[in-house]
Chain A
Amino acid sequence: MTANFARSICLAAYLTLAACASAPTPNPAPSAKAPAPAVERRQPAPPKTNTDATFALLSEADIALDAAQPKRAILLLERAVRIEPRNFELWIRLSRAHLATDNMNAAMQHARKAIALADVAVGVTTATAQAKAWLQYAQVLEYRGQKQEAASIRRRYGQQRG
């Protein structure tokens, strides 16, 4: 009974205040911004490997791509991915190489993979990584003839590219 009475009083007060208020009711603070407990918080770990070896393979793959040898580039990049599977840059390059072989499906999926991994990219800001991956995705869309979607992505991420 007491609780019901209190609820009624509160409801009446709320309705009165709401009707009189000139400012909107403040939203609760976004919980994502609330400080999280230390027990679970971890700094993003450094990449498992981020080595000269991977970059050597990446550079060699770039040379192969420039020389119109995309199949060789794919071999080299897949070798690099086996060393460093969560490096989004490698997946972007793989997407490019598949695009060069007209394998649109693989190019699309590898670009999506790059986008997924850009969220946890290390060494560049997430925004930059996201932009790079999305721009590659836009390129694939353009090749597929989806020019409007590609342009939309470019407009959104073009400025953020590192």
Chain B
Amino acid sequence: MTAALASNTLLGDHRYCKPINLRICYRCAIWWESTLAAQNKRKSSKRRTKSRPKQQRFWARLRAAIWRLVWRTLMGLSLLTVLLSAGYAYYIDRTISKTFEGRRWSVPAQVYAQPLELFSGLALSKSQFITELTRLGYRPDLELNSAGTYREDSRGVTAYLRGFRFIDGFRPAQILRFTFNNRGIRQITEPGSGEVVLVRMDPAKIGSFFPSHGEDRIVLTPEEVPTLLAEGLKAIEDRNFDEHRGFSISGILRALIVNLRAGATRQGGSTLTQQLVKSYFLTNEQTLQRKLRELAMAVILELRFSKQDLLTAYVNEIFLGQNGARAIHGFGLGAQFYFNKPLNELGVAEVATLISIIRGPSYYNPFRHPERARNRRDRILDTFYSDGLINAAAHRNAKAQPLGVVSAAGRGGAYYPAFMDLVRSELSERYSNTDLRSQGLQIFTTLEPRLQENTQQAVSRTLNAIERERELPSNSLQAASVVADSQTGEVLALVGGRQGRVDGFNRALNAQRSVGSVIKPVTVLTALNQGMDLTDKVVDQAVTLPQPSGETWAPKNFDGKTHGPMPMYLALSRSLNLAMVDLGQRVGIENVQQQFTTLTDRRPNNPYPSFLLGAEAMSPLQTLELYGNFASGGFHTRPKAVIAVLDENGSALSHHTFEMRQSIQMPKVAALNRALELVMRRGTGRTSPFAQLGVAGKTGTTNDNRDSWFAGFDNSHLSVVWIGRDDNQSTGLTGSSGALRVWNAMARSNGVDPITPIPSDDLVAIEYTSGRRATERCADVVLLPVRTPQSLAIKPGCNIKPSLKQRLRSIFTDE
């Protein structure tokens, strides 16, 4: 360092000497003196300036201060703007990238109905089969060019079934020939291979677990997006999509010119990316601020993601219409909603129709404005042709086709929100909401679409008819219905209100209403379990019971009369309240309640004797659970809606196997069911046209006719129907005049499968009205299982030879 200084001073550079050591540098001292002199000279010059006029100095200083202030402010603002912009860009980037990533791969769980099993001997006519094919979105095609088509001829149907991955494996697409006879399917063959014993149709998709804001979608992968759709979207919505970086100046200018010429907004200048941003993150407000945000977000998305990612996200996201509370998003669901078929089966005209809807899902709604939608579709087809996306023949053919949208009633992507509530409730025990909404699960359920449609129609039409006949205010009545498999407890149909396909209060699951006489079989079963016979006597007489509150309870029969002693089955058949209270008191109300708990796995809410007459609030689904014990021959099953859940790769996550617990011994349930058959044949259910066919059931009516119930079953199906009003006012309906009518309508559509009778050796002929033993030679006879028939009184004139004991007893008992 010293050497360097020395070298510098020798060369004449003395700037560094002063701080080091002046004493060692003579030349430095000279330089330092000269510098001081120069400074003194400047000071003296300043003193001379002071002599200028004060005003001039003031303005000069002010100017300088202002310039300094302006300059510094500008610099500060610029710095602040840069910092804020950087922060905002960082914030937007973090936010939208995260949201975009999350949402792009959020695949809602897809829910499927039970597939239709087809086999030789199945009672399914040709026309019914074609109805099922149509329901699944199969279309007639003489050439059978692709899966999802069928060809009908005089002898049968040839169908090109879609491939599908079921719980137990994949069934590839295959062409099958179905022939029919007057009983149903005669034979199924695969051309070139021979007879097929059993085949499953692909199941109907009945919904998905979309987020709570009501957006449904079928998420497609990039490979699943048809080329025509991708190229068509670019041609119609964003010609420079492959080149621009989120926004297109030329596009904006073009739109500006078009709109200025037209004097109105005719064309948008937004790119696909901007439209995607608007749909994902922004609202529809028309402000500069929103537009700027849209631009910023579009640019960031373009920087972050590939063009293919953005286009696929657009295909999955764009809004295409509204179905009640459900927003239809994306082309996958749009294809199902408007054409009832998968996107990959759409023709040229259908793709053009879907693209036409983007510009205004309401304005170009093909259901409400078919002419307008068709005109736009044709213009889009012209663009397809002029851009070389389709050839002349395809262009000509497509323009000749009608819109081809399917009517609302048969619209695919069937939507059963009430049943989905049950699925959601069942799955909530095993899966989180996040799993259901984002993990791409496949959920196979027990729903039978045909049964569901029939049940919904039966409910809606019967309620309309009742309101019309009784001159009730329109839509004043409400209803719910559940249908399950008699043996397995699997729920096959569930109607939550008179209007199907509408989200809202689900009465089948959530309406807690008094069940009335529907509960009476529990008391009868308790008596049977205590060793009583159906023919044992109960007494229908006035009764007054003290209540814990100090008041008294004095129930009455529906007709206000009393009927004296009678056999237990008759009291049930006629639904006599006083006789049931007598029986309940005899067997013990606590025992009846214990029996109820055994049958339903839940304790009753009402501990008082009024429980015996159905003063117990239950939902239709809980009532179904109760009657499932009877319909299944004595087994308790929880009503079940889910068969299995697969992950996105098709691996089983859970298999919901049949679960049951024997709750009633066979002879007891057989006796009870026989009594419930009598309710239909001879009792309160006798007005049903199906009453004599071998069905069992029980009607129920609550105080002031607020609730009308029916629970009934045959060999195949167990059904529960409730009718009432949401404001809990009187309907004026009994179980027979209300709910039973709905069940009749259901049975008319779904058919009746008569209950397999108990072997006749176990049955005893009984005179219906008296409960005495009889024979076929006697009138008014029913067959009942009786443990101790020898104890029964004998009806005179039936040619039954009584034992000596009976003869003696008849003498002593005045029988």
Interface residues of A (CB under 8 A from B): 3, 6-7, 10-11, 14, 25-42, 44-45, 48-49, 51-53, 56-57, 71-72, 74-76, 78-79, 81-83, 85-86, 94, 98, 106, 109-110, 112-113, 115-117, 119-120, 126
Contacts and interface: CB of A to CB of B under 8 A. Distances in A.
Interface string B609-643: 00000000000000000000000011100000001
B783 interface: yes
B639 to A, nearest CB: 15
Contacts, number: 168
Given A28-B805, A56-B198, A116-B635, A40 B781 contact: yes
Given A49-B122, A82-B117, A28 B790 contact: yes
Contacts of A32: 761-764, 789
A87 to B, nearest CB: 10
Interface stretch (B402-410, B434-442, B658-666): B658-666
A79 B792 CA distance: 46
B317 interface: no
B811 A51 contact: no
Contacts of A126: 759
B776 A72 contact: no
| B interface residue count range (under 10 / 10 to 19 / 20 to 34 / 35 or more) | 35 or more
A72 B119 CA distance: 21
Main secondary structure of the interface of B (DSSP, over half): loop
A23 to B, nearest CB: 12
B488 A40 contact: no
Given A29-B801, A112-B662, A119-B759, A74 B120 contact: no
B803 A26 contact: yes
20 contacts: A7-B812, A14-B804, A31-B773, A32-B761, A36-B775, A37-B781, A44-B759, A48-B716, A53-B119, A56-B198, A74-B657, A75-B167, A78-B658, A81-B487, A81-B658, A83-B119, A98-B657, A109-B635, A117-B633, A119-B670
A76 B635 contact: no
Contacts of B662: 109, 112-113, 116
Interface string B299-310: 000000000000
Contacts of A72: 168
B121 interface: yes
Interface of B: 114, 117, 119-122, 167-168, 197-198, 485-488, 490, 633-635, 643-644, 655, 657-662, 666, 670, 694, 715-716, 753-754, 756-765, 773-778, 781-783, 786, 789-790, 792, 800-806, 808, 811-812
A86 B808 contact: no
A85 B487 contact: yes
Nearest to A33: B761
Contacts of A40: 763, 765, 781-783
Given A25-B805, A28-B805, A31-B789, A48 B661 contact: no
A40 B778 CA distance: 12
A3 to B, nearest CB: 8
Contact of B634 (A11, A79, A86, A116): A116
Nearest to B487: A85
Contacts of B802: 28
Given A41-B760, A86-B487, A27 B803 contact: yes
A79 B657 CA distance: 11
A37 B775 contact: yes
